[in-house]
A and B are shown apart, each in its own frame.
Chain A
């Protein structure tokens, strides 16, 4: 379960202080498919970074499965990202000189999974997301956008995370491929009890979510 209380994130921008996330409080149950929507600059991605332990809040707390990540040490955050969280980015963010298989194996390596096990698990995950055969050995530049995002989803699932955070996962895809990817994420929350949080500005995706958090100027204006 994700519990967020009074979460605030401020940035220094020149002489001014920008409040990207302002006193946000919510909770998401396990296995839910949640969306965070809002206009560009509303603080969606910053909120996702705080949930994923990629950044530290200025105020407030974030607890994931009873783990207080907002006050955890650097080492605890690293372990949290290794074991609890999977990320999917809009720009895929695959390592360009690694094959699809190697990209999926990457988080497992950090988690200390043996080489044979991570190879087998990566191949299985790529099969599950529909990337089979020699495509698994291709570099990202030789895969389509949809295929790259499938690789990114497989990578995010490598360490069996309890929470999958997706930042505009369909933003760089055509609508048909986008729908396939959203179905895949929804399926994931239903079948493996993984909590999926998707940041999007696409109302169609938000409508499919179990719950939607609406952000405006960093504040939660509806859910």
Chain B
């Protein structure tokens, strides 16, 4: 029987004590594992939230929201100020307008410059369309037979920009993108609008009483965006008579600089000129909540590992002191200090390995329930403080929103890195927890521990 085997055998010398140590270590390790998994789950979610927020800053005239509210268009000077703001890397301007179909009724509500188009809206009005389109949503109201929603036109320097159009993605399905900096009578048309009006690349339609040529057809995977069309910024400005822009989408250099850039833009333009919004406003609460969970989990992880180390250290200290005489015997018969230490490290490793095994089983079983408890507590405090609602829309669409489901859907998963980390922590704890007390005892001369003869 070698030193290591003797150490392993010694781990089972006192069944009750062994079970007690293993049980306590299992609980500590499971808590550490649960917290490690929680930290990883939170990190993953924080990364996805940050990625979803992006670095977009939306600037609209003060008081306006889509076609609601009022205010004056942002001027070229305003756009230049936005572009000159530190940490702003790009700027895309757009102007939105709504065109009524020349042969249909909008129920008396235009909500635009008054321009007309030959295009028929591809969007089903529904009850909301009748309400916002100037119709009557009261029961029994029958819209005119030729009722149709106005058609959205966006003039922009970035024709197929998803952020300008307010979509998640924009794909050109036919033709080409128009030149947003030109003043040509050309358009890229949304897929459903093109289908409704039987438009193809090269087809023409009228807008503002001008003949416009279709250069491309896009799919934005949004019924609303696909129901509109895009023209060069200057063209729409000229035709609509809107002297300026209704939306500026700026990109900050990073997530970190996003709040500062937004704040600087707001300061540069003034609150009476522009409303500045970012996804960050809404995501901040979610990220803050995630960070709270992460902080709790990290402290608990460290605490659990320290607890495991202390438990093992004290247990081994007790065991080593109890076996002083045995250490003296081993040394009297020629064991080196290193040999004594190796035996106790092997014993501690055996106890720790059993504790780690129990901890992994418990940890896997408890990780998701514990994470849910953490999340629910955090959600409660977040709700109490006023969890923000969906962000305000700007331009055609609206930025991505976050809700409490961002927290609810956290899931802990055991990966190989977690197992490796756990094993390393267990080995470190076992070595430190046993080597120190056995080294202290092994340094004593054998006669001192055998003197009780």
How distant is A99 from chain B, measured CB to nearest CB, in Å? Answer: 9
Answer whether residue B329 sits at the interface, using C-beta atoms and an 8 A cutoff.
Answer: yes
- Across the interface, A45 reaches (CB within 8 A) one of B9, B10, B331, B451, namely B451
Interface membership of chain B positions 321-345, coded 1 if the CB is closer than 8 angstroms to chain A and 0 otherwise: 0000110111111111101000000
CB atoms of B450 and A89 under 8 A apart: yes
Q: How far is the CA of A159 from the CA of B330 in the complex (A)?
A: 14
Q: How far is the CA of A68 from the CA of B54 in the complex (A)?
A: 79
Interface membership of chain A positions 30-65, coded 1 if the CB is closer than 8 angstroms to chain B and 0 otherwise: 000000000000000110010010111000000000
CB atoms of A55 and B332 under 8 A apart: no
CB atoms of A81 and B332 under 8 A apart: yes
Q: Which residue of A lies closest to B12 (CB)?
A: A97
Interface-side segment among B257-265, B274-282, B440-448: B440-448
Max chain B Cβ within 10 angstroms of own Cβ: one of A75, A78, A155: A78
CB atoms of B2 and A109 under 8 A apart: yes
Q: Which residues of chain B in 123-169 are interfacial with respect to chain A, using CB atoms and an 8 Å cutoff?
A: none
Answer whether residue B453 sits at the interface, using C-beta atoms and an 8 A cutoff.
Answer: yes
Residues of B in contact, count (CB < 8 Å): 27
How distant is A161 from chain B, measured CB to nearest CB, in Å? Answer: 10
CB atoms of B334 and A107 under 8 A apart: yes
CB atoms of B339 and A110 under 8 A apart: yes
- Across the interface, A107 reaches (CB within 8 A) one of B333, B445, B448, namely B333
Q: Which residues of the partner chain B approach A91 to less than 8 Å between Cβ atoms? A: 453
CB atoms of A98 and B1 under 8 A apart: yes
- Across the interface, A81 reaches (CB within 8 A) one of B10, B333, B337, namely B333
CB atoms of B453 and A55 under 8 A apart: no
Given contacts A55-B445, A98-B1, contact A49 B450 (CB under 8 A): yes
Q: Which residues of the partner chain A approach B331 to less than 8 Å between Cβ atoms? A: 54, 78, 81
Interface membership of chain B positions 1-45, coded 1 if the CB is closer than 8 angstroms to chain A and 0 otherwise: 111001001100100000000000000000000000000000000
Query: Size band of the A side of the interface?
Result: 20 to 34
Q: Which residues of the partner chain B approach A56 to less than 8 Å between Cβ atoms? A: 445
How distant is B451 from chain A, measured CB to nearest CB, in Å? Answer: 7
Interface membership of chain A positions 78-115, coded 1 if the CB is closer than 8 angstroms to chain B and 0 otherwise: 11011100010111010101100010011101110001
Q: How far is the CA of A74 from the CA of B337 in the complex (A)?
A: 10
Answer whether residue A168 sits at the interface, using C-beta atoms and an 8 A cutoff.
Answer: yes
With A55-B446, A89-B453 given, name 10 new contacts (CB 8 A).
Answer: A46-B447, A90-B453, A91-B453, A93-B328, A97-B13, A109-B1, A109-B2, A110-B336, A110-B339, A115-B2
A-B CB proximity, top 4 nearest: A82-B334, A55-B447, A110-B334, A49-B447
